[in-house]
Structure 1
Amino acid sequence: MRWTLKKEPEKEKIDKLARELQVDSSIAKILCQRQIETFEEAKKFFRPNLKDIHNPFLLKDMDLAVARIETAISKNENILIYGDYDVDGTTAVSLVSSYLKTITPNIATYIPDRYAEGYGISYKGIDFAEDNDFSLIVALDCGIKAVEKVAYAKDKNIDFIICDHHKPGDKIPDAVAVLNAKRTDCNYPFDELCGCGVGFKLIQALGTNRNQTITDFLPYLDLVATAIAADIVPMVGENRVLAYYGLQVINEQPRNGIKAIIHQINKKELTITDVVFIIAPRINAAGRMKHGNYAVELLTEMDFDAAVKFAADIEIFNADRKDLDKQITNQALIQIIDKDEENKNTTVVYQEDWHKGVIGIVASRLIETYYRPTLVFTKSGDKLAASARSVKGFDVYNALLQCEEFIEQFGGHKYAAGLTLLPENYIHFKNKFEEVVSKTIDKKLLTPEITIDAEIELSEITPKFFRILQQMAPFGPQNMKPVFKSSCVRDNGYGKKVGADETHLKLNVFQGDNKQTFNAIGFNLGDKMDYVQDEFDIVYTLDENEWQGFKSIQLVLKDLK
């Protein structure tokens, strides 16, 4: 691990903010690092407010989208709500379809089959719309590059409204409306909404004609918060407000589908991390193992008992998914060793029978062992399909762009992408990708980095300090949980390896003459027990540990030296 201390903001700024907020300088420093430098900015940050949700009509084409949907409603047209099979897509479809059903019965949903159709808008989906008399398709979390498909639909007199958040290509599809804050000709104040977030703006805009205000849309925010967490979009600006209120809905009055998932895991209060690791994988498991329709049915189910049944099915899909991803990861690791590819700058592996639904997870798992840009391929029809994942600081989308000659189609963003290619191009692609990455990657990016917000003394960790940190949640990209470093700490002699196979580390640490000890847990750090004999440095986040009704602050170790 590389330990990197974040750049120190100007001392005057830190001191001024510490005085204004009456907080420790360490807290003020962390806020300044996050561009929160004044009392007003801090107030906005610590007290997310629905007033800071932007006017949806600031999105280019929103007026056209609303006008077309209103026409469809007044003329009793059939509207098809189309979205991808991942969490962002299925939550977006659930959100928009459940809102429109409160206005018109002529609404159906369509999730493409991951295997038969692949990612994004498909010809099969458009043919389905034609066969079933749909004259309008609202595409969510996809479509920004579907120029030919939208033209194909137009020839069949089917209109498209596209709600997307992926990077547009050179040409925008000729749809009735294309809602995407990343369009160069769009002046919307926040361009990091997820697909479900764009869907939310659409229903918010439709609500203005019905005299609905933002509070009428609060019940939909459990879906938006789930998508924000799962799609790993920046947890700042409008996303932070939506996630903050969405978490409240998840914990107080979630829709039946989410309630049924929570019901199974028996957890009292969920954080955004729980949404990422508990709710999102289960919603995702439907599209990975069976069909994304299961997720939409779960998330739109009005009857709780029926939702519990769906959730039980999805629980099985999720268990199967876990088994599969473990098995494929092991096979991939063996392949890397057998082919003597441990010392490359990339990982590219392929086996034709690997399950397409889990190759993205496998790519992430492989990065845990070989920290480098990774692609996992499997056979998909007469082509090969892959999921790409990257390491912090390296743009895998740009690297793929430079290998375009061997790729049939691809899409995605900086850290995750998907692509297809012809089998005969696999080796050419693999060699070219290694060549491109080797030339362009800064070699230090091939060692995982821990970014440290501040170095503090353990004595600074007080209940008030911890309380303020908790109020910085929800955490996510650009507002990560603060990471601290403390130097020259000792263990009180009761430190030990824990866990079934002793992979974790449990310590009681103190610093200098101050004998106050803190419980510390280091997941997967059991092999560092040898460092604990004398003084050592630690990097950690803070968490609350509850044991037999007693709550205490716990250090969650990320590394030690």
Structure 2
Amino acid sequence: MQDAMDAVRFLLADSPEQALDTFRVLDKLNQKRRKKQVAMTQQAVKLAAPQAEQHQGLVVYKEEFHEGLIGIIASRLVDQFALPTIVVTKGTSGILKSSCRSRNVNLLELLQQCAGVLEKFGGHANAAGCSFKEENLELFREKFHQACLQAAPATDGKKVQADLEVNLEMLNFELLDRLKDLEPHGQANRKPVFVVKNIPLPETIPMQGKHLKWGLGADMEMVYWNGAGRVPEGEVFDIAFTLSTNNFRGKETRQLTIQAISS
């Protein structure tokens, strides 16, 4: 989002004083970037939520999204909705640029099915990018949704590795604020996974598609994207999940996104 020379000046500083001055500049820029990132992510969540209730993948477009942040925003949406996600912004000459993220569905296979409307695409199974003409946005979104519907999540036999066993009372907003210090997340720095054990599930809140949702209190909810038919029989459950904040229609809630569940 800024000239990289400030970072170079910091590394090549001739004195501690010069390094400190440059560091302060970099710190201000980073704070500005994080504020923009938070605001854009909140906007993206509002755009993504209706799609998540009806489709198996997300294509979120906003002209004002900064090209340098769309990859991070896409990762945040994957963390929250656990669906293949493409965040799109406006490029030049009528071309839209995007950043794509996925956790358990091969992105390149999805994009290959949309190749007819793409100008170019590339990357790997979990992170990719593509570009297409602005006039093809809705057609691309339709093709991507269809590709996601037909795709089967990868079954590589891996077990979910939980970082910490907790109880629901520990999952407060203070913890969420502290978790932000661990960002940004990616392949080399995955989002923390928590586990709660021996808890009953309240009545399921209906959602469209194959998704499941439960209310856990006034401002806490748990979602299981594509979870229909995947909850084992039982009265109490062990649940592995990631934790995030969901800002939707002006209401902030703590959201647990299920990664694995057993009885």
TM-score range with shorter-chain normalisation?
0.5 to 0.7
Higher strand proportion (structure 1 or 2): 2
Q: Output the TM-score relative to the length of structure 1.
A: 0.30
Structure 1 residue 341 displacement after superposition: 4.2
Match of residue 42 from structure 2: 330
> How many residues matched?
194
Answer yes or no: is 1:451 the counterpart of 2:124.
no
1:409 pairs with 101, 120, 138, which one? 120
Structure 1 residue 409 displacement after superposition: 2.6
* Alpha carbons 2:106, 2:154 under 8 Å: kept: no
Match of residue 351 from structure 1: 62
1: distance between equivalents of 2:115 and 2:160?
A: 33
Match of residue 176 from structure 1: none
Match of residue 308 from structure 1: 20
2: distance between equivalents of 1:560 and 1:435?
A: 27
Matches of residues 380-459 of structure 1 in structure 2 within 5 Å?
A: 380-382=91-93, 383-391=95-103, 393-442=104-153, 450-452=159-161
1: distance between equivalents of 2:142 and 2:154?
A: 18
> How much is the aligned-residue C-alpha RMSD, in angstroms?
3.9
Q: Which has the higher contact order (CA 8 A, sep 6+)?
A: 2
2: distance between equivalents of 1:316 and 1:366?
A: 26
Match of residue 376 from structure 1: 87
* Alpha carbons 1:485, 1:537 under 8 Å: kept: no
1:497 pairs with 161, 170, 179, which one? 170
Answer yes or no: is 1:531 the counterpart of 2:199.
yes
2: distance between equivalents of 1:498 and 1:324?
A: 26
* Alpha carbons 1:390, 1:396 under 8 Å: kept: yes
Q: Deviations over 1:406-462 (max 9, x none)?
A: 2223332221122222101111111112222222333879xxx7535xxxxxxxxxx
Matched position secondary structure for 1:290:
coil
Matches of residues 262-281 of structure 1 in structure 2 within 5 Å?
A: none
Q: Output the TM-score relative to the length of structure 2.
A: 0.59
1: distance between equivalents of 2:13 and 2:115?
A: 42
Matches of residues 110-509 of structure 1 in structure 2 within 5 Å?
A: 289-337=1-49, 339-382=50-93, 383-391=95-103, 393-442=104-153, 450-452=159-161, 496-497=169-170, 499-500=172-173
* Alpha carbons 1:496, 1:529 under 8 Å: kept: no
1: distance between equivalents of 2:136 and 2:44?
A: 20
The residue type equivalent to 1:379 in the other structure is K
Matched position secondary structure for 2:170:
strand
Structure 1 residue 291 displacement after superposition: 2.5
Structure 2: 5+ residue runs without aligned partners? 178-191, 201-235, 242-258
Match of residue 208 from structure 2: none
Distance 1:539 1:499, change over 3 A: closer
* Stretch deviating more after TM superposition (425-434 or 397-406): 397-406
2: distance between equivalents of 1:538 and 1:342?
A: 22
1: distance between equivalents of 2:32 and 2:21?
A: 17
Structure 1 residue 485 displacement after superposition: 9.9
Structure 1: 5+ residue runs without aligned partners? 1-288, 453-482, 505-522, 541-557
Higher helix proportion (structure 1 or 2): 1
Distance 1:531 1:354, change over 3 A: same
* Alpha carbons 2:197, 2:238 under 8 Å: kept: no
